[in-house]
Each structure stands twice: as structure tokens, then as C-alpha cells.
Amino acid sequence: MKLKGSQILLKMLEEEKVDIIFGYPGGSVLDIYDQLYKSNIKHILVRHEQGAVHAADGYARATGKVGVCLVTSGPGATNTVTGIATANMDSIPIVVFTGQVPTALIGNDAFQESDITGITRPCTKHNFLVRSVEELASTIKEAFHIARSGRPGPVLVDLPKNVMATETDYDPASIKIRNYDIFHKPAPKKMAQVLEMLTQAKKPLIMTGGGVILGKAAAELTELARLYQIPVTGTLMGLGSFPGTDPLWLGMLGMHGTFYANMAVSHCDLLIAVGVRFDDRVTGTIETFAANAKIIQIDIDPSSINRNVVVELPIIGDTKATLRDMIKFLAEHNYTPLPTERSEWLKQTAEWREKVPLTYCQNGQVIKPQYVIETLRKLTKGNVIVTTEVGQNQMWTAQFFQFDKPNTFITSGGLGTMGYGLPAAIGVKCAFPDKQVVDIAGDGSIQMNIQELATAAQYNISVKIVLLNNGYLGMVRQWQELFYEKRYSHTDMSYAPDFVKLAEAYGIVGLRAIKPGEVEPVLQKGLSIDKPVLMDFQVSREECVYPMVRPGESISEMELGTREMIN
């Protein structure tokens, strides 16, 4: 049958079972939007193209499916770059469709032309410029396959206007793509080495990362840890891959990790790292990271192996399949840790937890941000999907909200993108309209994409925003306090809108808490309303995130709120 390029695009999206697109129209994509008008695919009109990418990203992280967004050419396309880079750093599968000027005008500096494939080459898993309608269908199919396979990531497809308007014969049976599938199955000798290393170890530790969640391997990792009573720590991206309320869970490690997690890493003799890339915020000084341990690294991406930390046993493979093989092999070979050795190790981690627990002091008439997060956890019993902005709000959430399930903590890790949380929450809520979705935000970060309140209001996407309002760019101010003698150079954000009035101006509910006694009632009310709600909590202005490892230091050297160095 004869179809136009725009019709083929919609056909391919339906074949990929795309149910929602986040986008913003413009001249070069009008043919596509005309087809969307007739389509059953839901479209959410955002207020900025960056918001569209973050929403698609949040949708992808929460569902495990490919998120999709659509924007126009030129500035519409360039506005997606931060969102694409965010997804790329965290290996999130999205497909970004950008409009482009007609092929005859490419390279002529035409109106709203930009070389978006050139611009995004460093921050996409792959990108395409579709030069003819005949290659359109296979390119779209290929884009989705690349985005979701192996180590996932963002793919961009640039669509010239004339390609969308041109007709061609469309035959679904003729669509072919190259085979990208490369599945690494660990050889049996690798499992034998794991058994040998575990048998020799007296103080093993599991380190879980985003690859466990992306690989849908949380159940296998939890089974392995519980079977052999191995304590677990995690990166920011790994939160939720092991239950945060389990006694074996030590919390997040790294710059703002728990004392007991960092000490366990520093004293373990075997570190099983699953789906991690050993980011600098996790390791501190490389030379001292897990200095007493042999390291097993499991990752699907060969380029992540030995990239930052040299390991004794690299295992390239899908995290779920590899952990299944490991559990089976250990059982078949009757691996049993010595009870006395394991109990001594667990006793040691418990002593570290007791010595320096995560704590704060909520007294007086000033709200502590940690108290807001703990109260939210108590009221929801953890039955909520949390997104965050970036900064102190993100770190306090990682520390004080115990995530028991994967895909329930949605945050920008690698790039640390301010303005991520609100549009990501919109994407999550669109995927799961019956689940409670909360964006824990800072007053600085949320203003980066606050225009998306209009999107939430228009479609009654009932996200809840817990705004920890300290009137500062909090994390930057903290560094200025610690390292620049409190010279708060351009981090004071006290000149800000009245967030409650702003919420009401956008047509959503605004609530405010000024005293500690108001925190719980405001949260209860905000969570109960079936509308978008912004809750403004005016918190302690100069509260810091502790523990903290200074840049360039070992993660065993942590600074606490008393400025005491503990190791």
C-alpha cells in the first residue's frame, strides 16, 4: 500500500507498542502531528523540549520500556540535548524524533536548521538522519532495537520534512534490520572462579548498581545475598535493586554514602560489583577504593570493565542471566560460608551502623529536610515512586527514603541534571496513573523546568511535589561553606516566587509548611488530593548533607556534621 512517511512513522510506533509520546510541535513536524491527530497514541504537550525528553526518560526508567519524544527542527532539536545526555549517562532507552529541514536544504543554513546528528553524536548510543522515505521504516525499527538492547541508551532519529511528506510502497514484511544481538554468556570457568573467591573470602560484600535494575535482576541479586548472608551496598542508581529495609542493606556508598557502607567497602576482602561502572563519586580516591579486596565485576558492557577500577575477575554478561548462573553453580557445588566467619563480618557491619547511624536533629521551630523525607516514607509506607531534582534534595532522599523495589527511585545520576525531577515525574505518572508519584525537589532545581506545572495541570497528571525550600543552591552553598570559608558567591536564592501562589497561578494546588508540626498534616493533605499538588516546606537554610567524603580523599575518611573526620 502507498503511505506517506508520516503515516509510516505512526505505523511503526504502533508496531513498537508505543502508547504515549511527549512532544512539542513545530513547522518541520506538522505532517507528523497531523497524523497524530488521527492516531490512538496519546500525546502529551510539554512546555519545553527538554521537559519532553525527561518525561520520556522517566517513563522509560519506571516501566523498563522505551520512552519516546517528538520535537521540531532547529531550536526544538537543540533543546533536547541536555535530556539526551542525561539518558545517555544513565543508560536509559529512549528514542528522540526530531524534525529537520527538507533534504535539499540541509547544509544551506536554512531557517531552523541544525546539525542535530552531529551535535548529539557524543551523547547518543546511536543516531540517524533519514534521507529517503524508503529507508524510514527499517531505521525506526533499528532505532528501537538499539535503544533497548545490550546496555540501553538514547537513540535520535532526524526526520527531514520532505521525507515525511513523500509517499512510498509500505510492506511490513519487507522491513529488515541488521543483527546487533551479542549475548555474552559467562563460561563455566568464570563461575568456578567465583566459587573459589567466595570460599576464600571472610568478608564478602555485594555492590549493586543501575545495571541490576536495567537488567531486571533485582530478584536474583536479593536471592544471592540472602542465601549466603552477604551484606549489600549500592550506588545512587542501584537504590531499590535490594530492599532498603533488609538487615543486610548497608545503604548507599560513596561521597554521601553511609559510614557503615563506606567502611564495609574499605574493609571487605571480596567485592562483587554488579552492574556498576565505578563512578568517581562512588570510589573516592581510586588507589584506596576497596584496597583490601579482590573484585568481581559483572557488566553487560565490555567498555565498563576495568575502565576505572582494575578487577581480578571480569564477567561480561547480562546481570540477570549471570546471577542466575552464579546461584545455580554455587548450589550445585554446595557452597556454604563458615558460620563463624560470616557472623563476625555481619557483627562488624552492625557495629559500624550503631557507631555512626544516619541521623539528624529535629528540634526547635525549624523544619529539617530529612524529617520531611522520613515523614513522607512513613505516610506512604514506601508504596510510591519517587523522582528527585539534583542537589541536596537528591542526596537526602537517597539516604533517608528506604527503597524496597526496583524502578521506584527515578533520578539523574551521571549527569546530575537540575530540572529533571518534575518532567520525569510527569512521565512516570503517565505510565502509572494509579500509583502515587512524588517529586522531591529543591527550590533552585525545580525552577529549571517549572513551566511543566502547566503540563501537569492541563492533563490533570496528579504528581505531588515535595519542595525542600532553603532559599539556596543548597549543594553548591555547602561546598562554599566547607571549602570557601562561607563565601556564598551567587548561591543565595531567597529572591524567589511565592511557590504556593505560583502553583495556584498554574491551576494546581499549593500548600505550605513553616513549622515542624505542619509537616505531617501538609503531606497527608497533599497526598490525598487527586490533582497535581506543590507542597512548599520551608526548611533549615544551612543544613548540610553528611556524611561527606572530601574530593580526592578515600571513602573511608568521612566528615560528619561536627567536622570530625572518622576512619
Catalytic hit among 42, 111, 185, 378: 111
Return the C-alpha cell found at 232: 549489600
Looking up residue 331, the CATH number of its domain turns out to be 3.40.50.1220
210 lies in a domain?
A: yes
420 lies in a domain?
A: yes
Looking up residue 466, the CATH number of its domain turns out to be 3.40.50.970
Last residue of a domain, one of 301, 328, 355: 355
466 lies in a domain?
A: yes
- 530 and 449 in a common domain: yes
- 140 and 215 in a common domain: no
Crossing angle between the packed helical segments 259-267 and 339-355, to the nearest 10 degrees? 140
CA distances from 551 to 267, 392, 413 (A): 20, 17, 17
In order along its 567 residues, the chain shows pLDDT tens digits of: 899 999 999 999 999 999 999 999 999 999 999 999 999 999 999 999 999 999 999 999 999 999 999 999 999 999 999 999 999 999 999 999 999 999 999 999 999 999 999 999 999 999 999 999 999 999 999 999 999 999 999 999 999 999 999 999 998 878 888 776 666 677 789 999 999 999 999 999 999 999 999 999 999 999 999 999 999 999 999 999 999 999 999 999 999 999 999 999 999 999 999 999 999 999 999 999 999 999 999 999 999 999 899 999 999 999 999 999 999 999 999 999 988 889 999 999 999 999 999 999 988 899 999 999 999 999 999 999 999 999 999 999 999 999 999 999 999 999 999 999 999 999 999 999 999 999 999 999 999 999 999 999 999 999 999 999 999 999 999 999 999 999 999 999 999 999 999 999 999 999 999 999 999 999 999 999 999 999 999 999 999 999 999 998 999 999 987 544 444
DSSP state of 186: P
560 lies in a domain?
A: no
348 lies in a domain?
A: yes
Cβ distance 393 to 441 under 8 Å?
yes
CA distances from 245 to 232, 250, 257, 324, 356 (A): 12, 10, 16, 23, 18
CA distances from 147 to 60, 127, 429, 456, 463 (A): 11, 10, 22, 27, 27
- 142 and 211 in a common domain: no
Catalytic hit among 475, 535, 548, 558: 475
CA distance 193 to 74: 53
Range of the domain at 324: 188-355
- 404 and 350 in a common domain: no
Q: Could you tell me how far CA 429 lies from the centroid of its own chain?
A: 15
221 lies in a domain?
A: yes
Cβ distance 489 to 459 under 8 Å?
no
DSSP state of 47: S
Last residue of a domain, one of 306, 333, 355: 355
- Collapsing DSSP to helix, strand or coil, 443 comes out as coil
- 14 and 89 in a common domain: yes
Catalytic hit among 4, 22, 49, 50: 49
- Collapsing DSSP to helix, strand or coil, 145 comes out as helix
CA distance 60 to 46: 17
- 531 and 388 in a common domain: yes
- 135 and 42 in a common domain: yes
564 lies in a domain?
A: no
49 belongs to the catalytic site: yes
Q: Are strands 67-71 and 249-252 parallel, antiparallel or unpaired?
A: unpaired
112 belongs to the catalytic site: yes
Last residue of a domain, one of 109, 143, 174: 174
Does the reported pTM lie above 0.85?
A: yes
- 119 and 27 in a common domain: yes
344 belongs to the catalytic site: no
Tell me the one-letter amino acid at 244. Answer: G
183 lies in a domain?
A: no
Cβ distance 165 to 31 under 8 Å?
yes
Looking at residue 173, its pLDDT comes to 79
- 146 and 82 in a common domain: yes
- 313 and 196 in a common domain: yes
475 belongs to the catalytic site: yes
Cβ distance 296 to 312 under 8 Å?
yes
Q: Under 8 Å CB-to-CB from 123, ≥6 apart: which residues? A: 81, 84, 85, 88, 154
Please name which of 415, 406, 396, 502 lies closest in space to residue 53, comparing C-alpha atoms. 415
Catalytic hit among 112, 193, 229, 362: 112
289 belongs to the catalytic site: no
CA distance 29 to 101: 10
CA distance 373 to 519: 10
- 94 and 33 in a common domain: yes
Q: How many structural domains are present in the chain? A: 3
- Collapsing DSSP to helix, strand or coil, 155 comes out as strand
- 30 and 92 in a common domain: yes
Catalytic hit among 4, 161, 203, 464: 161
